Amino acid sequence: MTKYCIITFLHVLLFLQGYAQEGRKVIPFNDGWTFRKGPLNASTDTTWEAITIPHTWNNKDMQEGKNFYAGEACYQKTFPVAAGLKGKRLFLRFEGVGSVAQLYVNNRFIGEHKGSYAAFCFEITHSVTYGAENTIVVKANNTAREDVLPINNFLFGIFGGIYRPVNLLITNDINITTTDYASPGIYITQDEVSDKKAIVGVTAKIENKQPHHTNVQLQTEIRDQHGKRVAVTVKETNLSPQGINIIRQELPVIRPHLWNGLKDPYLYSLTTSILINGRITDAVTQPLGLRRFEVTAGKGCFLNGQPYAMHGVTRHQEWQDCGNALTNAQHKADLDLIREIGATTIRFAHYQQSEYLYSQCDSMGFVIWAEIPFVNNFSGKESENARQQLTELIRQNFNHPSIYVWGMHNEVYSKTPDEHVAVLTRQLNDLAKTEDPRRYTVAVSGYGEMTRPANLAADIQGMNRYFGWYEGSIGDIEKWVSGLEKNYPDYKLMLTEYGADGNIDQHTDSLSTNFDPVSGQFFPETYQTATHVQQWAVIEKHPYIAASYLWNMFEFAVPMWNRGGVNARNLKGLITYDRKQKKDAFYWYKANWNPAPMIYIAERRNHVRQPERVHAEVFSNLEKVTLTLNNGAPVTGRTGANSKDFIFDNLTLKTGVNTLTASGVSNGKVYTDTITWTH
């Protein structure tokens, strides 16, 4: 054991021995682990490596190609349990392990969890030795399986490892449950929400492990951001020692401060406590954002009765050289970039993502789409796991005010309503509506027809449309949406993916090049930019598209692909995999979505220009936008796709280096951007 591990264990030991406070303890359990690839009994302990959670063994190889390691690996940790903890309840809660996890405590099998993306929680009260050291082993296996979603690595890789945080939970023998699909154990509902009043409901699930009925008080209180109590209710109840005690409470909040997206993401806190003889013995606190979200066919989305522009991006949970084992700082950095582009809503694709991420969306004001990884293909053997993962998604994230919709699937199909995917989708929708009748559901098709059998079971029809890339031409999006508006005016529609790949090292002076999006190696950034410029200009004119989500905010690894000049990479991101470069399309959306003054000249990486006569394109939300070439007289361009797109035609380059400067005005202040092109 390393010196570092000994110190860490001593700190934990001292903390646990000094346990004297009432209620529960949540202790980070991320240090002092050792790891080895392969089965537990394959070789000696000399192969074990000291690691810290979060951790994945695919942080490099899955980004390089098909020859990544998929199989079993093992994690081990030794920790002390103080003798004074006897009589308490102990739980281990894992926020994410890829993809199938088995937990052992002191060589005793505790349980198995199937699925990479949801939390799971096992009780270890009766398996630890008190007053002694204990050993935990986690076997993780990321082999693609037909009975675990996603069933393959085709659209994104299934990273292996304990890649999200682990906590040790300690409670009294009467506690709010921790093992109800690893949920918080309390479920907050809100009804009749207006600026005059809101009715807040709380359902608590409580376990009594004492040998007899016990009288308790269940108290729920709501506090504002200053800590002032704005509502409280107390209920006397006699807890049964058998089963789960389910207790419902309601609290009115008068003249509530509403959660209003990015403009004002106001959060209350709600705490449910168990009191015995006036003493708190357990408590759970959750965020409370009071809001009312509606989707109206043909008109769009409404937040608290007001139209809400749903400018959306999608996001995968991985970074270059880190895989999916991200820190909270990395998650926050992604959200800050999404905030910079001006997005108001995020589709977290194609799976449940970090709890920290959802909490940050609550406090930052993003409106969130959350979904399960029923994606790309099906086996006919995934039904049980799909229902499990959807239940986990909903119960674990039920209280986040930022979430407005639950996703059932993405691009899986049936030919008739009686086949597997269509039937399973109806079952999933029924499950979602039973678990959470107040939120919307959505299913996503990669086709443009409204009547696909597997998609009409949900409240909202999502469609992924890659005009100009996988089908047709860039401008075909106009005919598509106009046709749906005419033929299906009463249907709720969202454009859930669109875009094109763009390699920042590849450019073209012409958009007439034919690209092979499946096996081609030339994916110029120029074409990606043109796709987004033209298609957003169409999307913004059609409120029938209630929300749109460009694909994707960030590049990500696809180990089964070799396209666009970069192996194992989906290049549709507007920001590079390492987060170091923002592509031209990023600034296009920033000009359209973010009201902060900005101006940007496109094609700066296409800096060696062959033609003598060229045009320049500028993205800006400023007034009086002009361009100068080589310190010449400023010229005014023409309007391109919309009012944020400025085209400057017939520029004549000199031999050598040419300097272009764009400028514009906002509230009397001049903003400029300068680039150079070499002819």
Domain assignment of residue 602, yes or no: no
- 3-state SS, residue 443: strand
The CA distance from 361 to 398, in Å, is 14
In this structure, the answer to whether residues 274 and 349 fall within a common structural domain is no
Token pair for 127: 């398996």
Q: Which domain holds residue 628?
A: 613-678
Q: What is the pLDDT of residue 513?
A: 67
Contact criterion met (CB below 8 Å) for 442 and 408: yes
Model pLDDT, residue 47:
86
The partner residues of 638 in beta bridges, in order of sequence, read 647
Other CB atoms within 10 Å distance of the CB of residue 110: 18
| CB 371, CB 146: distance < 8 Å | no
Residues 281 and 417 reside in one and the same domain: no
- Domain-terminating residue out of 133, 154, 176: 176
Give the type of residue at 405: V
Do 21 and 148 fall into the same domain? yes
Domain count, the chain: 4
Per-residue pLDDT, 9: 36
Instruction: State both tokens at 8.
Output: 């860490």
Residues 137 and 15 in one domain: yes
How far lies 487's CA from each of 224, 434, 456, 462, 482, in Å? 47, 31, 15, 16, 9
Tell me the whole-structure pTM to 2 decimals.
0.95
Where do runs of H (alpha helix) occur along 491-583?
A: 525-539
Peptide bond into 11 cis (omega under 30): no
Does residue 296 lie in a domain region? Answer: no
pLDDT-flagged residues of the chain (< 70): 1-22, 42-46, 513
User: Within a domain: residue 601?
Assistant: no
Tokens read off for 392? 């986990």
Going by C-alpha positions, the residue among 301, 401, 324, 327 that lies closest to residue 359 is 401
Q: Are residues 525 and 641 in the same domain?
A: no
Q: What residues act catalytically? A: 411
* Structural tokens at position 546: 């209630």
Is 458 within the bounds of a domain? yes
Query: Which ranges in 261-354 belong to alpha helices (H)?
Result: 328-341
Residue 267 and residue 200 share a domain: yes
Beta bridge partners of 218: 235, 274
Is residue 484 domain-shared with residue 564, that is, in the same domain? yes
194 and 169 within one domain:
no
CATH number at residue 641: 2.60.40.10
Q: Look at residue 7 in the predicted model and tell me its pLDDT.
A: 32
Q: Which helix (H) or strand (E) holds 397?
A: helix 383-397
Please give the helix or strand (H or E) that residue 356 lies within, else none: helix 355-364
Within 13 Å and on the Cβ side, how many CA atoms surround 112?
7
150 and 192 inside one domain: no
293 belongs to a structural domain? no
3-class secondary structure, 420: helix
**Does residue 329 sit in the same domain as residue 429?**
yes
Instruction: State pLDDT tens for residues 91-144.
Output: 999 999 999 999 999 999 999 999 999 999 999 999 999 999 999 999 999 999
Residues 568 and 644 in one domain: no
In a domain, 484, yes or no: yes
Same domain, 445 and 492: yes
Query: 150: cis peptide before it, omega within 30°?
Result: yes
- Look at residues 570, 596, 622 and tell me which one is the last residue of a structural domain: 596
> Of 567, 596, 625, which residue sits at a domain end?
596
Sign for the pseudo-dihedral over CA of 163, 150, 63, 139: positive
* Residue at 255 is within a domain: yes
Asked whether 480 and 463 are in contact (CB, 8 A), the reply is no
In this predicted structure, what is the pLDDT of residue 12?
A: 36
In a domain, 608, yes or no: no
Q: What is the pLDDT of residue 511?
A: 83
Q: What is the C-alpha to C-alpha distance for residues 657 and 549, in angstroms, rounded to an integer?
A: 39
User: The CATH number of the domain where 27 resides is what?
Assistant: 2.60.120.260
Q: What is the CATH number of the domain that holds 319?
A: 3.20.20.80
Distance CA 582, CA 502 (A): 11
